[in-house]
Structure formats: structure tokens, C-alpha cells
Amino acid sequence: MRAPGLARTSRSRSKTGTARYHRGVLYDYTAATVESVASETDAALAKADSLLAAAAAAAPSFESTLLPLELAGAAVAVGYGRGAFLAQVHTDSAVRDAGQEAEERISKWRVGVPFREDIYRAVRAFAETDEAAALDGERPRLLDFWLRDFRRAGQELDPEQRAELESLRNRLVELEVAFQRNVNEYQDQIDVTREQLAGLPDDYVDRLSPGSRDGTYRVSLDYPELNPFLEQARDRTLREQLFRKHWSRSVDKNRPLLAEALRLRQRIAELLGHPTWAHYGMELKMASDPQRVADFYAELTPAIAAATEGEVATLASAMNADGPDGQLEVWDWRYYDDQARRALGIDQSKVSEYLPLEAVMDGLFEITGEVLGLSYRQVADTRAWHDSVRLYEILSADGELIASFYADLFPREGKFGHAAAYQLVVGHRRTDGEYEKPVSAIVANFTPPSGDRPSLLTHREVETLFHEFGHILHMSLTRAEFARFSGAETEWDFVEAPSQIMQHWIWNASVLRRFARHYRTGEPMPPELASQLVGARMLNVGIRTATQAFYGALDLGLHAGDASPDLDDVLRSTYAVTRMPYPEGTFMLSGFAHVMGGYDAGYYGYMWSEVIGDDMFGRFAAEGVLSPSVGADYRREILEPNGSRSADDMVRAFLGREPSNEAFLRLRGMLPRE
């Protein structure tokens, strides 16, 4: 690495230009239609099916049997990026509908490949050859993974059971896609007067749409409206109303979909010889077994519970002194947490004035450029699905193009409602020997510009941006030979670690002040404000950590026991870790898209990977928070291999030891006193 020039190179990203390979490779999303979504999906699946047919018919060899399977997966990924992805972001509901149909088709195709007996026979025949025994590099891992897929698809079952299994898996795809669509499109609100918005800043009020009654304002469930209201609105009754709406999204449509999905998952697990869906799912994960996850929580829960107990009592005292008499409720704690931060001199609306989106993006690029040896360039001709979407190139320090990514950062009706990163083109070695340059997208719902004010992010939104950019880096810096192991294709409970580690940089006062500048004056954030903000990082961290523990325990409660659990009982029992009363009359599972979007029996992975991310960041904390040498190790051992090595091996290689939860507990002040 050429450290002296890295920061200068990364700052140059503010220049714009036409991407050097944009017209040749990047897709023109402005031309997307219902018909194009269907035709792109048709073309991708046709190409993939042709490759599979060739693999099934050829004499067994790596080049003629396994490689076509790899290339088929890469082709389908391109089809997803040009079609199914638009279900999450397109402005036209008809195109989103077409994208949903495309997503179902692609998901069913992916599910169906291991069920094909002709492909199984071809791969099994190859596995028995001398060539297969002599494979090296990523190739033996690729073969092992395909053999595992075939076993999990029931190729060792009798034909009747195998047919049932495939039918169940296809139905499960339909349920998961419908569930997510219901969440995306759900709309609800409260209408409030200006007086009822007491406590909220003028710029927040200015962004609100008119309510259904004259003289009122609409506060929706979109996060840029929801979160500040729960944190700053003085009217406790209205906070409760909005919270209850949020925790009951799509309940009529999604509750039965979830219940059916749980039954199907359990039956799939039983067919394949697993006691529960959690046992089946964790076979592919770093944890490998539900007992390891149970032990993980058992080690952490006592310290989390002790911290949470004290924090809830403190906030309840503040609430009772403020007027309300009784228990602290879930719609109260964020408000009194915000009040506590204000008492420390932290006004989130003032903090946001130092976090305009442009400055934050500059800081994100400067930090990752310096640490990882990268530079960035914004592309003027985006040809994206919406005018607000930005397109960037990621370059090596010497200017070589590595990858591209889109940033779709503001709310829109019908758009995916949270924050996520999507792979649109997967990096892999092509048959011509060249490396396919990855393309990805951040999709988020940050505070939009309003009037004469640019997009001013909350510190939490900055944390989310850095988190999601960790996924983008993981997808973009891959050097895996095969698409099967590229980008986010690592163990699902490790995939968040490269994002969790990213959040640490915005909690370092000196790093924060490098990019936090007032949107009007350009002055850096005052040192005292930055220090106060960072110093309050772990304020009420017990409650926040307990909330994550609740989500993880809830997920396991759904998938590690009965096939048809009492959903309300599971919610109540797992919520107890927060030390707050359960909000009766709500059903947050109907909007908890994670359990129907790939994190089923895997939500624990957020905390699991957070523990690992904290542990890995410990190297930066010890050797230099922006150390290019540690960054080079991190890029080489974690970001580039992706799924081509086991997560356990990668973490040990980077840390030089077994991972530990000590850094996680120490950072939160939860280590037991000796």
C-alpha cells in the first residue's frame, strides 16, 4: 500500500465523470418496464438452464460439470439485478409487481437446481473421479458445497419425499416474497396538530406532509418520521399511538403467512432428519448448532440483564419526575434517553446540522480510502431508477476500477422501508480470465432535503450508512474465484461482521471531526460536542443490547422448538429481557421482515457478528484506528476471501487467536468486576 497518497486520492472522488465501463456493463435502469423485467428474467434463466443442460450431458470434469453450475448462478444474479431488484426500489407499482414475480421465479429456480436429478448425477459422477480428488484452491470447497446442497435437497430421499420437499420449498419462497411486499407497501399514520408536535424541531415539522384534516400534519411510519417522533415528541399518548401502529404493520395479511411458513419450515427440517428448522439452518452457519448459540447468549445475558435493569429504573425515575406515574413503556424509553443526552449537552437536531449527507459521504470515502487503499469517483450519468440515486466507482489507490455501487438513500412510497445492501452483479472469474467487476446498491430511508436545507443526517443514520457500506465493501472488494463464494456469500451469521466493524469509526471523536461540518458555515463539529456525543455512546446501551437479544431470542423461539408455536406467547416471553412491559395488543412479527427474508433461525447473527466485529476492531484500536497496515490485513483476510474460506478461519487469521466476547463487554461497561 502507498499510504502517503491514500487520503488525497480518496478526496478526489468529488469529481464526476462518465464511468469507464458504464455504457458497456452497467444497466440502463431508466428504460426499465414491466416487459423489460420479464425479458431480463427470461434471458437470465434461459442462459442458466442452457448451462445446466450442458453440465448434465457432458462427460464429468470440473470444466464441463461444476463450472457451468457456477456460471449459471452468476447469470441468474445478473437477472436479479436487472429485474427482481426493482421490486424494492422502482417508482412504478406495476414494475414493482413485475419485480416481485421475477423474484419468485429466480428464488424458485435457485431452490430447484439441487432438486434436479440429472445435475445431481453429473456432479456425483464427477466427485468420484481422480480429477475431483486432486482439486485445489477454492475448487474442492465448491464441490463439497454442491454435494451438501444436493443432500439438503433430499437427493438421498425417496422420490415421493423429494417431490414433497421441493413443493414445500417453492411455497416457502412465495410466502417470503409476499410477506416482504406487504411490509414495503404498508402505509399508516397519525394526524397531529402543530401543538401536538411540541418537542420536535421546526425542520422536522417542515418535512411533514399535510394530514387528512385541515391544519394537521401527517406523521408516517417511515423511519425519518417515526424515529424522531418517538425520541422527541412530548405527547406520550401520541408516541404510544404511533408505536402501536408500527408494531402492528400488515398484521392481517402477514400473520397467517408467517404461521404457514413456520409449519413448512419444520416439515422441511423433519424430512431432512433435523429436529428443528434452527438445526437445519445452522448447518450452513458459523455457529453450526443451536446449542452454540444458546451458550453464546448464556454468556452474555447476565451482564446485559444487569445493565438493562439499572437503566430502565433510571429512565422510569426521570419519567415519573416528569409527570407520568407508572412503568416505563417501550414508547417512553427513547424519549427519556434523548432527554438524558440533552442533559449532557447533546441535541440531536444540532448534531444533525454538522452531518450533511455530502460531508458524511466525503468522510466515509476518506476513511475507507485511507484504511483500505481505495479511492472513489462519482459518476454523473447514473441511468438509475430514480433521479435521486447516485452512482460511484470504487478504485484502487492507483486508479484501477474495482467495482461500482448505487446509493438510493431517501424514502419513497412503495420503496423498501429500512436499509439494506443488494448485489446486482457478482464478482467472479469469467471464462476469459478477466474478473467480473461487482455492482451493488445501498437502499436506505434517510432524512431527505427540505426547503433550503440539505439532507441532514442523524448520528444514527450516519451509523446506518457506515454499516451498510460495510456490506458494499464486502461485495466490492471480493477476490473470490467463484460467484458461489463472492461478496456476501459467506456464513450468514458472519455476514454482518464487516458491517458491524464499520460503525466504530463514527464513534471516534477525532475521526468524526474529520468530516462532521456545519451545513451552512463549513465549520467542523466543536470538539466538546463531538466528545459529548462519543462519550454518550454507551448511554442506555443495556436497553439497546437487550432489544437485540430480544429479536434473536424471538427468532430462536420461532424456529428452535414447536412447529406451531403460540406466537403471542413467544413474543411475551422473549420480550422480558428488555425489562419493560410487553405492549399488549401489538404483533411486531407482522413487520419483522428479517424472519421472512433470510435471517430466520439466524437473527442472532447480528449480535454474534457484532461481538466478532468489536473483537476485530480491537486490532485497529490497539495498532492505529486508521492504520493502513491493519487495514491491509483486514482487506486480505476478511474482505477479499468472502465465502471461499470458513469464517472461523478468516477471523483467526486476522486476530491471530480465537475470537472473544471480552471487547464487546468491555466497550459496553459490562465486564464483571473482579
Burial of 233 (0-12, 13-18, 19+ CB in 10 A): buried
At residue 392, φ and ψ (nearest 5 deg) are: -130, 150
Q: Which three cell numbers stand for residue 257?
A: 403467512
DSSP per position, 464-522 = HHHHHHHHHHHHHS---SSGGGSTT-S-TTTTTHHHHGGGGGGG-HHHHTTT-B-TTT-
Out of 468, 481, 489, 637, pick the active-site residue: 468
The neighbour count for residue 6, using CB atoms within 10 Å, is 23
User: Can you tell me which residue has the cell 429436529?
Assistant: 275
Reference 465, options 438, 480, 444; nearest CA is 444
The neighbour count for residue 577, using CB atoms within 10 Å, is 22
First to last CA, the chain: 43
Long-range own/partner contacts, residues 266-271 (CB < 8 A, 24 or more apart): 266/562, 266/563, 266/564, 267/168, 267/563, 268/165, 268/168, 268/169, 268/172, 271/154, 271/157, 271/161, 271/164, 271/165, 271/168
**d(C-alpha 516, C-alpha 312), whole Å:** 32
- Is 468 an annotated catalytic residue? yes
Q: What's the residue count for the chain?
A: 674
Q: Which three cell numbers stand for residue 192?
A: 397531529
Beta bridge partners of 406: 391, 441
| Residues 425, 438 contacting (CB under 8 angstroms) | yes
Burial of 280 (0-12, 13-18, 19+ CB in 10 A): buried
Q: Which three cell numbers stand for residue 202?
A: 421546526
Q: Which residues are catalytic?
A: 468
